[in-house]
Structure 1
């Protein structure tokens, strides 16, 4: 079996707040609280959830752009394993060479004082990946062409371009170092629907040509259904379900996943649909609920959900969920000698 290119085990990202004179007792924001998953070469791994669930923090932590409080993050490049959680100084330069990020806002992520050529060339020059200016220019032209940018655009500044064109520039900058893994953080959220389709088709084409692995962070489930191979659902710093895209959308197991999918508007405006209504707001990551973190909003919560944290349950080899109701159902159908093995299962893609 192919080894994963990204392996995340019990990732935690906590931010201390408060403390000091007249500031009250120190507290901790548990932005990400024990996340585990794997991403394989050439795979598009989707990460979905409400705002504040910790999606962006996970993506930044994998690239060491957010502090890792606890856990292991490993990026495998050829025969080398980069332990991201341990990297410092020059080690981070090696990580940047193989892992890049596409940011959400194409207007804020590009320097208005640099030409498009300089923006795309910056990673090459910062990491010293080319020997001279001629080689740099050749690489910039190659990547610009792959991203469907005209060569005459290289002399212009970002203000001269639309949002879709700016995002193509950002994609070219991310690809110029020839990485093997990309984090796309809401890469099409700020674009018009027609432009979104063009950018997604471009990313899909580049992913196939370069055998890239993607983490695609989004709140738009229709985009995720079209673009991703595997989807993980996050709620309040934890992953509650992981499954192949077709299985997650056809057989959602966690009540939170079911609620998210029920909110997708149908193509037929007159079609009837059964909405799963969630009461209240997402709790604070400073004081998350005990037991199952979703129990305060879950329409089918049981007494045990309030005090006992659900264990990770593998419904099948590629479909895992953290829910008491699902675990009880699986336990009643799984042979006894396999139940102990199930209890120790880790979420896998």
Structure 2
């Protein structure tokens, strides 16, 4: 299995709708490139609005990418070209790539039983073998995420936030996917529950040999969970490398800023004294130079006019920064 993105861009046209703004675009994703290998956990990390969720939705074609190339190759060697994919192959693709949303309360229908929640989409997959078999498989999957058969007849509102997220994970696993997209799956949960869900995902990855795209804004969570990390800012990946390399080196100024935002009791006074509030560039502003220019302490004149590209600074460690070339 492999997923490949090459120079992917997504520009939302603001000309549509009642409050149209002619000639205006939101430049949500601006030239993102990365790949996910078989049985790999890849993390996308960055602040809210950096484009990481948009990238995930482009992969499952909730949005159509404006430019660039996306392809997915399953374990049988079948290649799905997302640049020109028809509805039949899109249905097959969405069984192989499953999406777990941030808020389980909003993604689970409160009027449906858990059995219906699990099997509603499963009925339209090539793995469907009838109601009886579906119930058996639902029970098995539900037990694998720490719930039981008796929970099948209950409804989502009967469960806690952590249990609802377990149900969302079970629903995703039912079609035997090869890639799970986990979009901020622990950010809405208590810290104690977060660790339980993360440990569950680790177990699932080992048991089912699944690759994961893990999206979060917390670098500590991503570095604990993932093999490789892509740091996003302003619709671009500014640093890409192994979790160990990025955790130890922190080469890009934005990666350093993310790590400095992690609470540190010992140096809290110094950290607070350094904090300055600088707004991110407007998403409607066409990207020309480095998106991090206004917040960077080491910027050069070239950073204002020329957009940096990812370059291999160290083996398998890529950074998009003129100051590090």
The TM-score with structure 1 as length reference comes to 0.88
Flag structure 2 segments of 5+ consecutive residues without an equivalent. none
Report the equivalent of 1:255.
253
- Give the alignment partner of residue 312 of structure 2, picking from 296, 314, 322: 314
Cα distance in structure 2, aligned partners of 1:272 and 1:218? 24
User: What SS does structure 2 have at the residue aligned with 1:194?
Assistant: helix
Conserved in 2, the CA contact under 8 Å of 1:262 and 1:274? no
Shift of 1:210: 0.8
Structure 1 residues 258 and 117, CA gap change in structure 2 (3 angstroms): same
After TM superposition, the structure 1 = structure 2 runs for residues 1-349 of structure 1, keeping only pairs within 5 Å, are 5-18=2-15, 23-77=20-74, 78-266=76-264, 269-271=265-267, 275=271, 277=275, 279-327=277-325
Instruction: Between 15-24 and 140-149, report the one with greater CA deviation.
Output: 15-24
Q: Contact 1:259–1:278 at 8 Å: present in 2 too?
A: no
- Gaps of at least 5 residues in structure 1 are 328-349
CA distance in 2: counterparts of 1:321 and 1:106, whole angstroms: 35
Deviations 1:98-126 (A, max 9, x none): 00000000100000111001111123202
> Partner of 1:108: helix, strand, or coil?
helix
SS in 1 for 2:224: helix
In the superposition, relative to structure 1, how do residues 285 and 22 fare at CA in structure 2: closer, same or farther (>3 Å)?
A: closer
* Structure-2 separation of matches of 1:120 and 1:23: 39
DSSP-derived class of the 2:120 partner:
helix
Q: Hey, what's the Cα distance between the residues in 2 that align with 1:42 and 1:197? A: 21
Pairwise CA RMSD of aligned residues?
1.8
SS at 2:168 equivalent: helix
Change (3 A) 1:24 1:222: closer
- 256 and 102 in structure 1: CA distance in 2 versus 1, 3 angstrom threshold: same
C-alpha distance after superposition, 1:32-81 (max 9, x if no partner): 11100011111111101111100100001011111211111111112111
1:24: Cα distance to partner? 4.8
User: For structure 1, which segment, 65-74 or 235-244, has the greater mean C-alpha deviation from structure 2 after superposition?
Assistant: 65-74
Per mean C-alpha deviation after superposition, the further-off stretch among 159-168 and 287-296 is 287-296
Q: Which stretch of the first structure deviates more once superposed, 168-177 or 218-227?
A: 218-227
Q: Which runs of 4+ in 1 moved over 6 A?
A: 19-22
Number of residues of Structure 1 aligned to a counterpart in Structure 2: 322
The answer as to whether partners of 1:19 and 1:26 remain within 8 angstroms in 2 is no
